[in-house]
Amino acid sequence: MARLAFRRVDQSVSRFRGLRVDRVLGFEVPVATSLCSRLLGLAYLDRDGAGMGLLIPHCRCVHTFGMRFDLDLCFFDAGGAVIAVRQALRPRRVAFCGGAAAVLEVPATQGGEFSALAS
């Protein structure tokens, strides 16, 4: 499995300020509960400003418009089980998973953070 490069959530990014932080699949990520954090996600941030990523509850479709780096996505069902993985989604794309209740967005890395889950 690929070694995870842990980065802290950048609290100076206003859309992340005050958000709850949860541990999901070994990632410590803010939970997008505000309108701004849900609409913008990780868009317009550089890779370091994105930290470990973002968990978006009640979500089954994400876009990568405004992204400055590729994303690895992990979709979860209502029970928290992984139901789909999309690796290295490039900017200006859309990813959809009909049965998803949440999605974890993580900056893509060499080899893919979710490569073990994709099989």
pLDDT at position 72, please? 94
- Name, in order, each residue with C-beta under 8 angstroms of 43's C-beta and a sequence gap of 6 or more: 64, 65, 66, 67
Average pLDDT over residues 44-59: 92
The count of C-alpha atoms lying within 13 angstroms of the C-alpha of 105, restricted to the half-sphere facing its C-beta, is: 31
pLDDT at position 13, please? 75
Rounded-to-10 torsion of CA 33, 101, 44, 106: 110
pLDDT in tens, 18-40: 899 999 998 899 999 999 999 99
pLDDT at position 3, please? 37
> Which residues lie across from 89 on neighbouring strands?
71
Q: What is the pTM of this model?
A: 0.84
> Which residues lie across from 104 on neighbouring strands?
55, 74
pLDDT at position 16, please? 87
Residue 4 pLDDT > 70, yes or no? no
Angle at 80 between CA 37 and CA 85, to 5 degrees: 75
Residue 2 pLDDT > 80, yes or no? no
pLDDT at position 42, please? 93
Residue 12 pLDDT > 80, yes or no? no
Helix, strand counts (H, E) of the chain: 1, 8
When the pLDDT of each residue in the chain is averaged and rounded to a whole number, the result is: 85
